[in-house]
Chain A
Amino acid sequence: MKKFFSTLLLLAISLQIFAQNASPSIEQSVYASGKIYVVVACAAIILLGLILFLFSIDRRLKKLEKYSDPKN
């Protein structure tokens, strides 16, 4: 009987170890969307930032074109 309980106890301890290993898959089912929208948001921020930056370059070039226009 003592042997049986000690076996059971050891099994219970080892179950906890298994549970820790399995936690990512449980978490994965909770976050079903997989946080892909974080990547979408970051890619959009980069595009938006670079496009705004291009507009600022464009504005400067436009000013230059106005000055160097031979009609002026």
Chain B
Amino acid sequence: MYKNWWKILGALLVMYATIAGFLHSVPKLPILHESIRNLYFHVPMWFSMIILFAISVFHSIKYLLTNNATHDLKAVESVNVGVVFGVLGIVTGAVWAKFTWGQAWSFDVKQNFAAIALLLYFAYLVLRNAIDEEQKRAKISAIYNIFAFPMMVVLLFVLPRLSDSLHPGNGGNPGFNSYDLDSRMRMVFYPACLGWILIGYWIYTLKFRVRALDKYTTL
């Protein structure tokens, strides 16, 4: 039980963020109205994805340093979970865009680059399946993963800022934090991010444990 405190913390934070996300007061904004509450659901998905991909890079580097297959398993499973969070982020983003930007997919730079960033990681998973030899697969995919992570960061946070975008925080649009993310929203937003990151990490540990069991018992 003493090791599980962070799982309980994550569950409580997500519970709090969901309930308070629907009931807590939000600033009155034009076009957005109540849909500003999506900030507590859509944005934490992306933050969780980034943390999971960062964990993956950490284990890829560890794999290259130690050649320990466990690190390879950790790297691939955290990408597996991160991709699920990324897909949830892009789908919720499309739903939100449908009702605030007018179109689910308006080929906005932020949407396009987010999709490309996800494709980078799909390519990682496909690459792994294409190589049969275990050590070679682990090494090549670890190197690919180390290159994919900075690419993903550039695609999500640098390139959209250089051109026009409807997404807050990009292309001359101010981020939510500059004028609407007031202290009321922060009280829900930060716990939501931390909670979803912990839940994402929890699912990743489950995936890893199942995978490790698979590898070391049936071989």
Contact = CB atoms under 8 A, between A and B. Distances in A.
A46 B34 contact: no
A39 B206 contact: no
Contacts of A38: 34-35, 38, 95-96, 98-100
Interface string A27-39: 1100100111011
Given A38-B99, A46-B41, A49-B91, A61 B18 contact: no
State the majority secondary structure of interface residues on B.
helix
A59 B196 CA distance: 24
Q: Give the interface size bracket for B toward A.
A: 35 or more
Contacts of B203: 50, 53-54, 57
Nearest to B99: A38
A43 B217 contact: no
B188 interface: no
Contact of B96 (A24, A42, A46): A42
The size bracket of the interface on A is: 20 to 34
Interface centre among B31, B38, B87, B206 (most CB of A within 10 A): B38
A5 interface: no
Contacts of A42: 38, 41-42, 92, 95-96
Contacts of B32: 35
A64 interface: yes
Contacts of A23: 30
Given A27-B30, A39-B37, A67-B218, 20 more contacts: A23-B30, A36-B35, A36-B37, A38-B35, A38-B38, A38-B95, A39-B22, A39-B35, A39-B38, A43-B41, A45-B91, A45-B95, A46-B45, A46-B88, A53-B84, A57-B203, A57-B206, A61-B210, A64-B214, A68-B217
